[in-house]
Amino acid sequence: MPAMHRIVVDAMGGDLAPDEIVQGAAEASLQLGNVELILVGDAAVLGRQLPQLRHDGSRVRVHHAPTFVEMDEKPAEALAAKPDASIVIAADLVARGEGDALVSAGNTGASVLACARRWTLLEGVSKSALAAVFPTELRRGEKDDPFSLILDVGATVDVSAEDLVGFAVMGSAYAKLVSNNRRPRVALLSNGTEPNKGPANVIAAHAALVETTELNFIGNIEGLDIPRGVADVVVTSGFVGNVVLKMLEGVSETVVRLARYAHKERLAWRLGLVALSSAIDQLKSITDWQQYGGAPLLGFTHPFIKAHGRSNARAVTNAIKVAHKALAGNLCGNIARTMAELDDRAQRGNRARTESSGAMAPTEG
């Protein structure tokens, strides 16, 4: 029997919690072979809901948490006021070794903060990164994945060149595993494709990434290359990543609103939309974020999959599957190994430079 993976699920987090979260977890218990699911939340509520669903009762357990963080609460304040909130207890369970991974559709800031306060970073990783997936024109990997990964989107605002290299390693390892993409194309987001474009940390990160053989680094890309899908993994600081993500979401919402307006306003436009409806449906199915499940918080010794706040049961099941895949594929171990290899290479480089400068230095006496 392969080792049982224990996935902790914040059952109270998300717009549709706990109903859709519990339903998604129940379905995952039937679909995944060697997983134990720990639902954290109000035991009375969860205990009433579970027996109404098809599930495997020997692999879904409940851990009581009397409160939870609302979606619109301020993260730091909420965690201070509610030390027994479901996300806090869930992160604690993983930190104590009673769980192997965490899935939450709840308040993003509170989830990231709860993990950051309790979990330890992988050796060699200086900062964690929250990733997000974005639908692109080009597809990738064995599964023809229509999503690219962009990180960081808000976990770390100020980053150094070393942090960006770490993000590149983490994003590449994740894309390799989840999209079955053997050599994910990794790029740095900048204001030009030339290596010397951008702020100092981006230029230094470019110089370091060019040296790596572990990653398929394709250089710098510009904002317009993100939706095109030029890169499979887009690396940037949390500040820029968050701005980019919000802007892309805003553009997408505006397009939908314009289409609705057109549908209402003129018959000819409505007919045009009807004619395009099958193509629009296809586009919707390609860019259906629910199939992707969630995006990871990378850099810690345990995987955390942050599902979309509006996640329904299907999205939650898929987020749990992603967490399972991350555990089965030893995502954190792979990141740590690559970070160690990069560190080793850097140390060898430093030694070689010291030796050569020592050999060239004039002898005293």
271 binds another protein (CB under 8 A): no
56 binds another protein (CB under 8 A): yes
> Would you say 238 and 156 are in contact if contact means Cβ atoms under 8 Å apart?
yes
Contacts to another protein from residues 86-125, by CB under 8 A? none
Interface region with another protein, contact rule CB under 8 A, candidates 37-45, 112-120, 235-243, 272-280: 37-45
5 binds another protein (CB under 8 A): no
User: Which residues, in sequence order, are CB contacts of 126 under 8 Å at separation 6+?
Assistant: 160, 162, 163, 166
> Would you say 59 and 37 are in contact if contact means Cβ atoms under 8 Å apart?
yes
61 binds another protein (CB under 8 A): yes
User: What are the beta bridge partners of residue 38?
Assistant: 8, 61
Nearer CB in complex with another protein: 36/73:
36
Q: How far apart are CB 341 and another protein at their closest, in Å?
A: 35
**Euclidean distance between CA atoms 221 and 185, whole angstroms:** 11
Q: How far apart are CB 2 and another protein at their closest, in Å?
A: 10
52 binds another protein (CB under 8 A): yes
- Return the beta strands (E) in the chain as ranges: 5-10, 35-41, 60-64, 101-104, 129-140, 145-151, 185-189, 216-221, 233-235, 294-298, 304-307
Nearer CB in complex with another protein: 58/363:
58
62 binds another protein (CB under 8 A): yes
47 binds another protein (CB under 8 A): yes
> Would you say 209 and 185 are in contact if contact means Cβ atoms under 8 Å apart?
no
Largest CA distance in the chain: 94
Contacts to another protein from residues 135-174, by CB under 8 A? none
The one-letter amino acid at 187: A
**Euclidean distance between CA atoms 72 and 136, whole angstroms:** 29
Interface region with another protein, contact rule CB under 8 A, candidates 54-62, 234-242, 264-272, 290-298: 54-62
Q: How far apart are CB 257 and another protein at their closest, in Å?
A: 40
What residue ranges bind another protein (CB under 8 A)? 1, 4, 6, 30, 36, 42-44, 47-48, 50-64, 66
